[in-house]
């Protein structure tokens, strides 16, 4: 049997927003002595990491390209800092809008028939951009919560494409970029950060 590889589907903010969030993550890492979040590009996970044989890669990519081509660009809002207390994660909360729900559902449906075992459909989806996790010193997590949760942050950007990533053992490589359908009208992106 062919060895399986690890894959993931994500969206990424445009470069200006990514740079701003990277600055936030850098400051967090410096203050709290944790660097795990810095290992990955700034992104919003659309579908969590899954394993499949590389032989299935082309079929999955083709199905995703066809399925996602019918969905339109949409504006994504990032609002405020939040946390997963149980897992000791601090993140920027991404608004779960109807277009994002539709995109997540479409991807889940496409993958459900192609992955073994089939993914669970009852898993709640909490879109976010990780700021700190995994290696935050336990004794400093409460301090980080008090510091970051009151802070204000807001950004919005247009989601135009979805990225299919494959893990190379150290980081994620983009193996496909799947465009969404361009709607009529103008598109804008903006950010704002307050401390």
| pLDDT for 9 | 95
pLDDT tier, 119 (very low <50, low <70, confident <90, very high otherwise):
low
Whether 128 shows a pLDDT value over 90: the answer reads yes
In what order do the strands lie in the sheet containing 74-84?
128-132, 89-94, 74-84, 152-159, 190-194
| pLDDT for 168 | 92
| pLDDT for 187 | 41
pLDDT digits (tens, 9 = 90+) for 44-102: 999 889 898 888 889 999 999 999 999 999 999 999 999 998 888 999 999 999 999 99
pTM: 0.87
| pLDDT for 131 | 94
pLDDT digits (tens, 9 = 90+) for 149-186: 999 999 999 999 999 999 999 999 999 999 999 876 44
Instruction: Work out the percent of the chain whose per-residue pLDDT is above 90.
Output: 61
| pLDDT for 139 | 85
In whole numbers, what is the pLDDT of the chain averaged over residues? 87
């Amino acid at each position: 049997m062919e060895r399986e590889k690890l894959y993931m589907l994500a969206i990424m903010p445009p470069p200006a927003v990514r740079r701003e969030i990277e600055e936030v993550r850098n400051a967090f890492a410096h203050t709290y002595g944790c660097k795990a979040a810095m290992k990955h590009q700034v992104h919003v996970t659309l579908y969590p990491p899954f394993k499949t044989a590389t032989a299935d890669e082309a079929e999955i990519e083709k199905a995703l390209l066809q399925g996602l081509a019918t969905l339109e660009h949409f504006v994504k809002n990032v609002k405020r800092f939040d946390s997963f207390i149980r897992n000791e994660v601090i993140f920027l909360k991404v608004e779960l809008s109807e277009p994002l729900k539709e995109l997540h559902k479409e991807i889940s449906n496409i993958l459900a028939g192609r992955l073994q075992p089939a993914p669970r459909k009852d898993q709640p989806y909490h879109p976010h951009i990780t700021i700190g996790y995994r290696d935050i010193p336990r004794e400093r997590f409460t301090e980080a919560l008090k510091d970051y949760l009151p802070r204000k942050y807001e950004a919005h950007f247009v989601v135009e494409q979805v990225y299919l990533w494959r893990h190379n053992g150290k980081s994620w490589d983009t193996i496909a970029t799947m465009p969404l359908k361009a709607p009529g009208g103008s598109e804008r992106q903006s950010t704002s950060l307050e401390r």
